[in-house]
Amino acid sequence: MHRASISFVLLASLLVPQVAQAADADEVYGKALKFLLNSQHENGSFGQIPGQPPGEIGITGLVIRGLAQAPGEHRAMGRRAAEKAMAWVLGHQQPDGSFTQQRSGLSTYRTAIAINAMAALDKAKYRAQIDKAAAWLKQDQFDAGEKIGEDNPHYGGFGYGKAGKKPDADMSNTLMALGALRDAGVKSDDPVFKRALLFLKRCQNSSETNPGVGKLKPKNDGGFIYDPGLSRNKSAQLENADGTVSFESYASMTYGGLMSLLHAGVNKDDPTIKAALAWIGEHYTLEENYGLGVRQKDPKAAQQGMFYYFHVFAKSLATLDTPTIQTKQGPRNWAQDLVDVLAKRQSKDGSFTNPVDRWWEKDPVLVTAYVINALDYAYPYLEAKK
C-alpha cells in the first residue's frame, strides 16, 4: 500500500466515531463471585451486625439467592457455599415462621429475603419452611387484623415490623414482601395482593389513579414515593398552597413500584403501569438514584442506595420481561447498560461499595450481593444486543 493510502486510512479511522466496547458480564460476575466466596464465615453465613457474632440473615439470604441462580458455570462454583449458608439461615427461623436475629429488627426484610433464598436454592426441599414464612409474612401486612381500615394510609403495606409499634408501612418493605410471596407461590389474585394494590396506588404520583390520602396530594409524574403516611418523608416534603403536601418520585421506588404492580397481577396496559413506564422513560439513568438529589437538594443524595437501586432496577425489568426499555433517548438494552456501569464501579478485588454511606452500602459484602443478584436478572436479556 502506498504511503499516501496508509495516511488516508489512518486519518479516516480517527474521524470515525469510536464505539465504546461493551463490558463483559462474565468477567464482572466472576470477580464478584470470587470475592463473596472468600467472604463466607466459618459458620456458613455472610455479613455481620456490629457487635454481634458473624452472620446477618438478610445479607446471607441475598448471597444464597444470587449463588443459587448464578448463570452458567458460575452456579456450580457457588452451590456448596450456598447450601452451607442456608443451614445457618434455617437456624434462625422462629416458631411463628419469621426469620429474626437477637436484639435486631428488620423482620420483614429478613423473612422476605429468606423466602427468596429458599425458593431459589430448592423450593421443593424447603417447601415447609417457605410456607411457614409466607404465612407469617401475610399476617405482617397492615390490614383489618390490626384494626387498620382502608382510610389509613398504611393499609395494605408492609413495614419493618409491627410488634409494639404504630403502623408505618413503606414501599421498600412492601416490594420485598410481595416479591417473596410470589417466589413462595402465592397467586396474584390472593387477598394479600388485592390489599397491597391500594397501598401501591397511594405511593404513586399519578392523579389519574391516586386520589390521595390524608394530607398527601400526589404529583402527576407517574413515579413512586417511599410511603403515603408522611412518617419518613418530612425532610423532603413539598408544601402546597392548599395545606396538602407532595413528594418527589425517585428511581428505586419507581422501579420497585412497577415490579410490585406486576406481582399483584396488574395488566401491562393498566394506567398505573403506563404511568410508571413514562416516568422511567423520562428519567432513565444508571448514574444516579434519580430523584433523591431533587428531594434533598444535595448532589450526594443522588448516590444514596445506588446498589439497592441496581438490584431493584434489574429485578423490575426482568419481571416486565423486556430486553429493551423505551427512553427519551430511544430504546436501551438495559441489561448491557447495567453491566457497563457495574464494570466501572468494581474494585480490583471484585467487590463493590458505595462511598456515600447510607443504608449499609459501605458494606462490600451486602453491596456485592446486590450486584450478583442484579446480574442474575440481567443475564437472559444480554442476548438481545447480539
pLDDT tens digits, residue range 164-191? 466 689 999 999 999 999 999 999 999 9
pLDDT tens string 87-98: 999 999 999 999
What's the pLDDT score for residue 300? Answer: 84
Please determine, looking at this structure, whether the domain spanning 25-381 carries the CATH number 3.20.20.140: no
Q: Is 303 within 8 Å of 251 (Cβ atoms)? A: no
pLDDT tens string 18-67: 345 677 999 999 999 999 999 999 999 999 888 888 999 999 999 999 99
Measured between alpha carbons, how far is 172 from 200 in angstroms, rounded to an integer?
11
- Across the strands, what pairs with 99? 93
Mean pLDDT of 145-151: 89
The DSSP string of 22-33 is PP-HHHHHHHHH
Cell of 170: 413503606
Q: Is 171 within 8 Å of 256 (Cβ atoms)? A: yes
pTM for the full predicted model? 0.91
Helix (H, G, I), strand (E, B) or coil at 98: coil
Cell of 16: 470515525
Measured between alpha carbons, how far is 207 from 45 in angstroms, rounded to an integer?
45
Tell whether the torsion through CA atoms of 312, 313, 314 and 316 is positive or negative: positive
Position of cell 439513568? 285
Measured between alpha carbons, how far is 346 from 362 in angstroms, rounded to an integer?
13
Position of cell 462454583? 77
- Across the strands, what pairs with 331? 326
What's the pLDDT score for residue 84? Answer: 98
pLDDT tens string 187-246: 999 999 999 999 999 999 998 899 888 888 888 999 999 998 865 554 477 888 998 888
What's the pLDDT score for residue 294? Answer: 72
